Amino acid sequence: MSLQLPALALAAMVLAACSSAPQRQDTGTFVEREIVLEGRPHRYQVFVPARAATPGKAPVVLFLHGSGERGDDNRSQLEVGLGPRVRAEAARFPAIVVFPQAPEGAEWNQLAEVVTAQLEAATREFGGDPDRTYLTGLSMGGYGAWDLALRQPGRFAALVPVCGGLLHPRRPSMAVGGLEGEDDPYAAVAQRLRDLPVWIFHGARDGAVPVEYSRRLDAAFRAAGARDARYTEFPDADHNSWDPAYATPQLWDWLFAQVRPGATGQR
d(CA 222, CA 220): 5
d(CA 221, CA 188): 10
SS3 56: coil
Q: pTM for the whole thing?
A: 0.89
Asked if residue 17 is part of any domain, the answer here is no
Q: Which are the contacts of 228, defined by CB distance < 8 A and separation ≥ 6?
A: 197, 198
Range of the domain at 95: 25-256
Residue 267 maps to a domain: no
* Cα gap 28→152, rounded to integer Å: 29
Distances (CA, A) of 12 to 4, 21, 34, 35, 40: 14, 16, 9, 7, 10
Residue 34 lies in a domain: yes
Which one, of 191, 82, 224, lies nearest residue 142 by Cα? 82
- B/e letters for 203-229, b = 16+ CB within 10 Å, e = fewer, are beebebbebebbbbbbebbeebebeeb
- What CATH number has the domain bearing residue 162? 3.40.50.1820
How many domains is the chain built from?
1
Give me the pLDDT at residue 20, please: 44
Residue 153 belongs to some domain of the structure = yes
Query: How many residues does this entry show for the chain?
Result: 267
CA dihedral for 12, 16, 17, 23, sign (positive or negative): positive
> Which DSSP state fits 152?
-
Residue 266 resides in a domain: no
Q: Is residue 3 part of a domain?
A: no
| Sheet of 198-203, strand order | 29-37, 40-48, 96-100, 58-64, 128-138, 158-162, 198-203, 229-234
- Digitized pLDDT (tens) for each residue of the chain, 267 residues in all: 333 344 434 444 444 444 444 555 677 999 999 999 999 999 999 999 987 777 778 999 999 999 999 999 999 999 999 999 999 999 999 999 999 999 999 999 999 999 999 999 999 999 999 999 999 999 999 999 999 999 998 999 999 999 999 999 999 999 999 999 899 999 999 999 999 999 999 999 999 999 999 999 999 999 999 999 999 999 999 999 999 999 999 999 999 999 998 775 544
Residue 51: what pLDDT? 75
The one-letter amino acid code at 194 reads R
Answer yes or no: is 144 within a domain.
yes
Closest CA to 196 of 135, 129, 244: 135
**Cβ contacts of 151 within 8 Å, gap of 6 or more:** 112, 177, 178
Beta partners for residue 47, in sequence order? 30, 97
Q: Look at residue 85 and tell me if it is in a domain.
A: yes
End-to-end CA distance of the chain: 21
